[in-house]
């Protein structure tokens, strides 16, 4: 009984904020909604990886494929379309993608039994968390305010199509074989 009572009040208290969140979500543009959905998917895979309850190899492949496709649509479609809004932030984003890609390559080459495996998962996760925070808190809201409704809708559509293609092809097909340059470098050419 005691537990029920203590659980009830936060639920009641959270009602207005969840309504507020739903209202806020309904105003998000197609690109923001798509990219944030993909961020949540990646966070879910990291959680599973860190729990150690599932086989690491398929989770790593899923993580790498999803991140490669996500980064590709940002690098090739979204960032070029929004660079004028904040060129410095977009250039920093390309660099963070490069580091995430290199970290992923190291992770894919590491056995889950290696003592460095968990540390490498954490390092890539933390890098991505920082990057996602900047996108969701800073870049995406500004893009949604500054780009027109039609431009955003068209952007969302081509990003969705491109994501499906890159996801299907997989991480190895999406990134250069060398560590000298990354898919972010190739996208900027
Ligand atoms: Fe990004
Ligand atoms: Fe992103």
Ligand 1 geometric centre to CA of 136 (Å): 10
Q: Is it the case that residue 7 has pLDDT exceeding 60?
A: no
Q: How far apart are the first and last CA of the chain?
A: 64
Ligand 1 geometric centre to CA of 57 (Å): 24
* Side-chain half-sphere exposure of 122, counting CA atoms within 13 A: 7
Q: Render pLDDT for 20-53 as a digit per residue (tens, 0 to 9).
A: 555 555 579 999 999 999 999 999 999 999 998 8
The Cα–Cα gap between 119 and 107 comes to 10
Ligand 2 geometric centre to CA of 167 (Å): 15
Label residues 31-50 b or e (16+ Cβ within 10 Å = b): bbbbbbebbeebeebbebbe
Q: Which long-range contacts (CB under 8 A, 24 or more apart) does 150-157 make?
A: 151/81, 152/29, 152/30, 152/31, 153/29, 153/30, 155/30, 155/31, 155/77, 155/78, 155/81, 156/29, 156/30, 156/31, 156/33, 156/34, 157/30
Q: Is it the case that residue 89 has pLDDT exceeding 70?
A: yes
Q: Which ligand is nearest to the CA of 97?
A: 1
- Average pLDDT (146-164) is 97
Ligand 2 geometric centre to CA of 39 (Å): 6
Mean pLDDT taken over the chain = 89
Task: Specify the pLDDT at position 146.
Answer: 95
């Amino acid at each position: 009984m005691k537990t029920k009572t203590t659980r009830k009040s936060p639920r009641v208290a959270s009602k207005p904020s969840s309504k507020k969140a739903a209202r806020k979500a309904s105003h998000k543009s197609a690109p923001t909604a798509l990219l944030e959905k993909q961020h949540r998917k990646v966070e879910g895979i990291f959680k599973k990886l860190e729990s150690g309850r599932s086989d690491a190899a398929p989770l790593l492949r899923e993580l790498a494929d999803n991140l490669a496709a996500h980064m590709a649509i940002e690098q090739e479609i979204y960032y070029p379309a929004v660079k004028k809004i904040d060129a410095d932030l977009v250039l920093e984003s390309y660099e963070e993608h490069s580091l995430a890609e290199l970290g992923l390559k190291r992770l894919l080459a590491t056995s889950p039994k290696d003592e460095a495996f968990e540390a490498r998962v954490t390092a890539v996760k933390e890098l991505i968390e920082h990057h996602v925070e900047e996108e969701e808190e800073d870049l995406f809201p500004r893009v949604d305010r500054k780009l027109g409704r039609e431009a955003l809708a068209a952007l969302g559509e081509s990003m969705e199509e491109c994501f499906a293609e890159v996801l299907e092809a997989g991480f190895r097909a999406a990134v250069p074989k060398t560590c000298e340059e990354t898919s972010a470098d190739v996208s900027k050419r």
